[in-house]
Structure 1
Amino acid sequence: MFFEQIINGLTLGSTYSLIALGYTMVYGILELINFAHSEIYMIGAFIGLTMVSVYKLPFFVALLISMIGSCILGIIIEKAAYKPLRKANRIAPLISAIGVSIFLQNAVLMIAGPQARAFPSGLNITTLNIGGFRISTLQLLILFVSIILMVGLHFLIQKTKLGQAMRATAQDKEAAQLMGIKIDHVITFTFAIGSALGGAAGVLVGVYFDSVDPMMGFFPGLKGFVAAVLGGIGSIPGAMLGGLILGLVEMVGAVYMSRYKDAIAFAVLIFILLLKPTGLLGRSVQEKV
């Protein structure tokens, strides 16, 4: 039972990590919390559901289309809601982010209705018995896809010129611009990649719980943000680690105190931040004057 909860925690935590990456990437570049990210996650789930249930596409094709659709949505949001406010005081883009979140949530409510919908993935899901504990092929699939996406992001950030431009922009935007880096393109790409990961997480969670609804983004989005803060906001490895830890704490807590599993997760966040305010892998940065 305990080891099964560990697997459940890693499965859920890997989706939190994908959501957290979207938050932490945007914050690392713009020092902005994209509160519309949870709705991108939700819309990604609906895109995947539509591709599978209406157009009868295979699951992996639907996942890819969902990521592309979420990527395009992220670019549109950045261009329409954040770019015009880039030089405004910090409260303006924050309010804009909240407004975009509310708009997207209500738009989907109006189009799809408030009812939850099952996610017919079409996958042949079986349960394996390994060493005395059970694990489903769906859990293995979610872990595999999540790991592939996170490893791919790590390779992109560390081994490509675009990733180098992203790291330079996160470190010092003015210096990066003087070196010929097109800051606007880097910011747009960051939103695009973060949104694609959020859309993938929405599809994976929709399949895992066999349910998609317009309000599904709130708690996973909040927990993805918590995971980003727990790991160290702005740190990509921190977001990955924070999501896995949050998922494990939530699932193990559910074994002993199921009614308070969310409270336990937030209590762990508070405890870690009291010991290390920058998060597990975050670094303190001196503000330039």
Structure 2
Amino acid sequence: MDTFIQQILNGLVLGSMYALIALGYTMVYGVLNLINFAHGDVLMIGAMVGLTVINLLQSMYPGLPGYVDLAIAIAVAVPACMLVNIIIERVAYRRLRNAPRLAPLITAIGVSMLLQTFAMMIWGRSPLPFPPLLSTEPIMIGGALISQTQVLLLVLAALAMFGLVFLVERTKMGRAMRAVAENPRVAGLMGVNSDRVIVATFAIGAGLAAVAGVMWGANYASVTFTLGVLPGMKAFCAAVLGGIGNIYGAMIGGILLGIIESLGAGYIGDLTGGFLGSHYQDIFAFVVLIIVLTVRPSGIMGERVADRA
């Protein structure tokens, strides 16, 4: 039983990060019908910027508590990633809104490679150690262990997701986002500035990815210029699992995928004598994607994208 609780906790931690990243995919798709495959690399930029800020703080103000370093790193990484994503939207995607769908898809892949190249030039090829900021003494929950960093990650992810739901459901900007997602032409006739809404959507998604990136580095203690590739692909699988374009689906899909990975790496690894253990846990996300696309292509919650034909 303790092992099961431990796997669930590990899955919630991993799934919370997937959910934060998946929200960026699903928000942009809901508004533009565009898959921004460079979104995973925005996560990487957030982790790299956060690490740089933490190293600077520790060299200039070595006496600061770890949670202060982490808070400042997130506070800097969020606007940095927002700026990157706004530039990407303005330079790479804006002129392709009415182009055939293959054009923005290829552009997104190109932007992803460009971001990785820039990161490699700035931070180097080798993995960079992420310094421990919080106490390493674990917390016991129901017979399972969870670190203070993971607890903070869960709290931040929950706050970010609740904040996003409030923004989308209760604010003027959220109503504008839903209007543009439903029908951008009619929304424009009603006085909604579609360009502003789209820029805000990219910025909010980048902010969530920045939080996930900094906490990913803090949790796994290492970052590299290719950090965003695999988490980005898995988060896209999570968005499809939950229902692409549906923010609730992205949250559910991310958390569910994290739990599936954790349980799969643990129990399926035991059943196969270690053949499909933790070293093969990356396959579970893509197996789930294949099953979902075969059985229920619209995902668990269903797509929330209007027919704009």
Deviation per CA, 1:52-83: give whole Å up to 9, x if none.
01233611111121111101111111111111
Structure 1 runs of 4+ aligned residues shifted over 4 Å read: none
Residue 33 of structure 1 is matched in structure 2 by 35
Q: Is 1:229 matched with 2:240?
A: yes
> 1: CA distance between counterparts of 2:164 and 2:73?
20
- Structure 1 residue runs of 5 or longer lacking an equivalent are none
Give 1:95 shift.
1.6
Q: Is 1:122 matched with 2:125?
A: no
Name whichever of 126-135 and 279-288 sits farther off. 279-288
Give 1:29 shift.
0.4
Select the residue among 83, 101, 109 that pairs with 2:120.
109
Deviation per CA, 1:211-257: give whole Å up to 9, x if none.
01001111000001000000000000000000001100001111132
Residue 207 of structure 2 is matched in structure 1 by 196
Deviation per CA, 1:160-207: give whole Å up to 9, x if none.
000000001001111101100000000000000001111111111111
* Residues 16 and 220 in structure 1, CA contact (< 8 A), matched pair in contact too: yes
Residue 250 of structure 1 is matched in structure 2 by 261
Q: 1:284 to 1:163 in 2, by over 3 A?
A: closer
Letter in 2 for 1:282: G
> 2: CA distance between counterparts of 1:254 and 1:88?
42
Q: 1:284 to 1:206 in 2, by over 3 A?
A: closer
Residue 279 of structure 1 is matched in structure 2 by 299
Q: 1:285 to 1:98 in 2, by over 3 A?
A: closer
For the residue of structure 2 that corresponds to 1:58, the secondary structure is: helix
Percent of matched pairs sharing the same residue: 48
- Structure 2 residue runs of 5 or longer lacking an equivalent are 59-67, 270-276
> 1: CA distance between counterparts of 2:197 and 2:184?
10
State the TM-score, normalizing by the size of structure 1: 0.96
Letter in 2 for 1:17: A
* Residues 182 and 306 in structure 2, CA contact (< 8 A), matched pair in contact too: no
Select the residue among 168, 175, 192 that pairs with 2:186.
175
> 1: CA distance between counterparts of 2:103 and 2:283?
31
Letter in 2 for 1:141: L
What do you get for the CA RMSD once the two structures are aligned? 1.5
> 2: CA distance between counterparts of 1:199 and 1:286?
29
Letter in 2 for 1:43: I
> 1: CA distance between counterparts of 2:283 and 2:170?
39
> 2: CA distance between counterparts of 1:117 and 1:134?
26
State the TM-score, normalizing by the size of structure 2: 0.90
Letter in 1 for 2:9: I
* Residues 119 and 210 in structure 1, CA contact (< 8 A), matched pair in contact too: yes
> 2: CA distance between counterparts of 1:200 and 1:267?
27
Give 1:111 shift.
1.7
> 1: CA distance between counterparts of 2:293 and 2:181?
23
> 2: CA distance between counterparts of 1:87 and 1:264?
35
Letter in 1 for 2:180: T
Letter in 2 for 1:269: L
